[in-house]
Structure 1
Amino acid sequence: MGKITFLNPEFFWLFLLIPIAIAWFYWKRNQQSATLKMSSTQGFKNSESLLTKLKPALYVFRILGLSSLIIALARPRTVDISSQTKTTKGIDIVLAIDVSGSMLAKDLKPNRMEALKRVAADFVGERPNDRVGLVLYASEAYTKTPVTSDKAIILEAIKSIKYDTVLQDGTGIGMGLATAVNRLKDSKAKSRVIILMTDGVNNAGFIEPETASDIAKQYGIKVYTIGIGTNGMAESPYAYAPNGGFLYKMQKVEIDEQLMKNLARKTDGTYFRATSNDRLAEIYNAINKLETTEIQELKFYDYDEKYRGFVLLAAFLLLLEVGLRNTVYRSFI
């Protein structure tokens, strides 16, 4: 019954009349049949027949019939709701991620790169109606995944991000931004956004970050910049260990925050600084709220009326009561 609703529930107030009807029947029960007054009944056998015992059932049929009629008037029905969503304002987003060696620093847990991958995956999962692309950069940049609506591909690409020697080590912020702009410049989306993250200063590449931001502004692309790393010192890799791993030591964290602020301001974006895992998650949540997609949702309601069964039950009970009263119990004393 949890899925049944009532179109006219106000008719349930009629159930207040049922106790009154029962009380009336109880009060008038001795006047329902013809009576014969005699001075004494000692000569008659004092036993009730089966019909006599069943006669109160007539009133039960009437009460049940009226109750079914009340329920039918309340219009019970079930509803099947189906919905269709239509994106009325889509957003194309490119994540430009720094994969230089400094991203292995352990000031975020377990390191900057792994912390970023988790948060970025959550961010993509919360953008079901937008297209997302992925650009990786160090001293150079390349498109790991073009802008696509297939979230499974994007999530797998984010999961596979790691530090390797495919790109020469360094931080080419301009290269990463320019590559991301190139992925969005021909997009027909209503809004185009780049989320550029770095943990260093621009020290590589042949495209200046300012030049890349000018191009982004020309195409109407908004750039959000994120500087990742604690303030002060961080445990960062500085050389390879004999076993092929990395050797770590405390090193100063250097982020060109002024450059990042300028890139964001020029394109009407915002600069954020992530100094912890929680702060990084908060930044992506903030961007997620700033860049909202307008969704038009159409709902279709399919009602299945259930009152007919109660009407038929009420008619059957009331006709049964009237039929028995005018046949079997017509001349019954």
Structure 2
Amino acid sequence: MLENIQFANPNFFWLLLLLPVAALWYFFKRKEETASLKISTIKGFSTESILAKMKPALFVLRLLALAAIITALARPQTEDISSRTKTTKGIDIVMAIDVSSSMLARDLKPNRLSALKDVAADFIRKRPNDRIGLVVYAGESFTQTPITSDKNIVLNALRDITYGQLNDGTAIGMGLATSVNRLKESKAKSKIIILLTDGVNNSGFIEPQTAAELAVEFGIKTYTIGLGTNGNALSPIAYNPDGTFRYGMRQVEIDEKLLEEIADATGGQYFRATNNSKLEAIYDEINKLEKTEVEEFKYYKYEEKFRSFVLLAGVLLLLEWLLRNTLFRSFI
């Protein structure tokens, strides 16, 4: 009966402390409630009446009735909660990904590009309320997918990113400018770009500083990530006769100063990822920094349960009244 029950006015349970007091009062005063007759002898009278011994049951019924009334006053009820969420501040995100040949370096496992795709996919899954787009760049840039709320489209497009889509090179300015172009018309409360590269700007006809100024003009924050180990990395250095890459050790060169300038100018941050775990930690950090505000509405439905206790109290009082005026009438 009391399963999953809560009480709206639990302070009324303090009244239960009066019940032991009433019981003590009855124990000491019960003899005074019965009329007495003084006679010289009780020889010939029977003193073993069962009804007389059961008379305190009437008082017990009254106490139980009072306990039921107090419980009813405490308003027992069940609560059913339903909730609905509403995104109040959506974020539009463009991920600009370097797909130059150096992204095939094997200092991250199995290589930089594959490691990035795995981490980026996990990041996308953690942003269910945001719109995300993809831009790829090497010697030039293009939009892999425009910003969309359909995460399956974004994840499929991310999976399809490979080396060879563009002429080789690293056009950081072009990649950033294309990303800005994807976001400039956005009406989102917050717009961000996550730009990742493992090299220096050596291609394209748009300077990275110019693209950064465009991002500032349109209120777009840019997080930059420099990818690659410190020192040498096993990287493609030439083609084999069959068209595959020949690998060799090559110095990792990242224009960290440029990436820091872009991040500072746009209000973002610069990160350096030298292995898989650091790359994953960087995307987790960005995920924490860029929180989407979600408003939650909760609806409470209460079902009152006091009526059954009132009914129980009524039945107990009626039973006490009937017994008092029938079976126990001669003793009262």
Shorter chain as denominator, the TM-score bin is 0.7 to 0.9
- 176-185 or 292-301: which moved more? 292-301
Map of 2:167 onto structure 1:
168
SS in 1 for 2:329: coil
Q: C-alpha root-mean-square deviation of aligned residues, in Å?
A: 3.0
What is the alpha-carbon distance in structure 2 between the residues aligned to residue 143 and residue 267 of structure 1?
21
Q: 1:66 Cα deviation (Å)? A: 1.5
Matched, 1:236 2:239: no
Q: 1:193 Cα deviation (Å)? A: 0.9
Q: 1:184 Cα deviation (Å)? A: 0.8
Map of 1:249 onto structure 2:
248
Map of 1:320 onto structure 2:
319
Map of 2:138 onto structure 1:
138
Q: Percent identity?
A: 62
What is the alpha-carbon distance in structure 1 between the residues aligned to residue 105 and residue 4 of structure 2?
55
Structure 1 residue runs without a partner (length 5+): none
Matched, 1:124 2:124: yes
Matched, 1:284 2:283: yes
What is the alpha-carbon distance in structure 2 between the residues aligned to residue 41 and residue 239 of structure 1?
126
What is the alpha-carbon distance in structure 2 between the residues aligned to residue 308 and residue 121 of structure 1?
56
- 118-127 or 305-314: which moved more? 118-127
What is the alpha-carbon distance in structure 1 between the residues aligned to residue 259 and residue 317 of structure 2?
82
* 1:101–1:163 Cα contact (<8 Å) kept: no
Question: Taking structure 1 as the reference length, what is the TM-score of the superposition?
Answer: 0.85
SS in 2 for 1:114: helix
What is the alpha-carbon distance in structure 2 between the residues aligned to residue 204 and residue 93 of structure 1?
24
What is the alpha-carbon distance in structure 2 between the residues aligned to residue 243 and residue 36 of structure 1?
126
1:92-124 per-position Cα deviation (integer Å, ceiling 9, x unaligned): 111111233322333334433333233323333
Structure 2 residue runs without a partner (length 5+): none
Map of 1:66 onto structure 2:
66
* 1:226–1:272 Cα contact (<8 Å) kept: yes
- 30-39 or 227-236: which moved more? 30-39
- Read off the aligned partner of 1:222 and give its amino acid letter: K
What is the alpha-carbon distance in structure 1 between the residues aligned to residue 17 and residue 289 of structure 2?
55
1:52-98 per-position Cα deviation (integer Å, ceiling 9, x unaligned): 56544333322222111111111222222333333333221111112
Q: 1:274 Cα deviation (Å)? A: 1.5
- Read off the aligned partner of 1:127 and give its amino acid letter: R
What is the alpha-carbon distance in structure 1 between the residues aligned to residue 46 and residue 218 of structure 2?
108
1:268-311 per-position Cα deviation (integer Å, ceiling 9, x unaligned): 22221112333323322332333333333333322222222222
Q: 1:290 to 1:59 in 2, by over 3 A?
A: same
The total of aligned residue pairs comes to: 331
Report matched runs for 1:203-218 at 5 Å.
203-218=202-217
What is the alpha-carbon distance in structure 2 between the residues aligned to residue 325 and residue 83 of structure 1?
53
Q: 1:29 to 1:153 in 2, by over 3 A?
A: farther
SS in 2 for 1:331: helix
Q: 1:2 Cα deviation (Å)? A: 6.8
